[in-house]
Structure 1
Amino acid sequence: MTAHIKTVELNHIILKFHDYYVVGEILEDVVFDGSKVDEVVEICKQVFKGERFVYISDRKNNYNVNPVMYFDLIHVKNLAGIAIVSQRFEALKIANFEKQFSPVPFKIFTDMEQAATWAKSVL
């Protein structure tokens, strides 16, 4: 894993930016919907400035994601992939369901280091 170069903290997510990926940790009990996704996408566009990147979701907390929001990610041209990282069985099960909605490569991991290695391979 590379050292992160920038951290952005919002009221619903903490984003840690690295050279070619961003790690997002959605906060406990958040309902992660379209408007929150749009906000994260805008920040990623500013930081990565058109360069391809991978979004890694660090699923430490319990929260709700509307899987339909994945359809809108088709418009994020520099999003090269999505990785989900968790050691909680329930979170992995939910991620496996979400996978079918993703328009980009989508992989599930139990280890952050493996996710970062995969992110580099996708690019």
Structure 2
Amino acid sequence: MEETIIRLKFCTLTFFDNYVIAVINEGEHVDHKLNEILIENIELHFKKPYVYITNRINSYSVDPNIYHRASEVQNLAGFAVVSKEYKTKINAQIEKMFFGKPFEIFTTLEDAIEWKDQLFEKN
């Protein structure tokens, strides 16, 4: 499986065939500005449906209002949060309420990737 890695000032994006794994840096705050940078970089890579997987191995905050804009991204088929931390999963449950597409929370990357496969099989 071929991958492409892009390192931005606030995160690392690892692109695969139909999904991207984002690792946001420790202490960042993902607001509208950073969200637009993410969307621009991802849209340059994908011209087809994809799933965004955020691997939350670092502690950072997210403005849940970014999800309205993210929901408008045409090729974004789904959103997955991966974390082993209880607090992070609770925060993701709140974020999920702001997102208008499939959004799931997982403990492992493997589970998130399996869900992505199932999501594409259904559609």
Say whether 1:10 aligns with 2:12. no
TM-score (norm 2): 0.94
Instruction: Tell me how many residue pairs correspond in the alignment.
Output: 120
TM-score (norm 1): 0.94
Look up the equivalent residue of 1:121 and give its one-letter code.
Answer: Q
Shift >2 Å, 4+ stretches: none
Look up the equivalent residue of 1:13 and give its one-letter code.
Answer: C
Shift of 1:74: 2.5
Task: Identify the residue that residue 107 of structure 2 maps to in structure 1.
Answer: 110
Within 5 Å, which residues of 2 pair with 1:30-109? 30-48=28-46, 50-109=47-106
- Higher relative contact order, chain-length normalized (CA < 8 Å, sep 6+): 1
Look up the equivalent residue of 2:92 and give its one-letter code.
Answer: A
| Identity in percent | 33
Unaligned runs of 5+ in 2: none
Q: State how far apart, in whole Å, the 2-side matches of 1:109 and 1:80 are.
A: 17
RMSD of aligned Cα (Å):
1.0
Q: State how far apart, in whole Å, the 1-side matches of 2:117 and 2:40 are.
A: 22
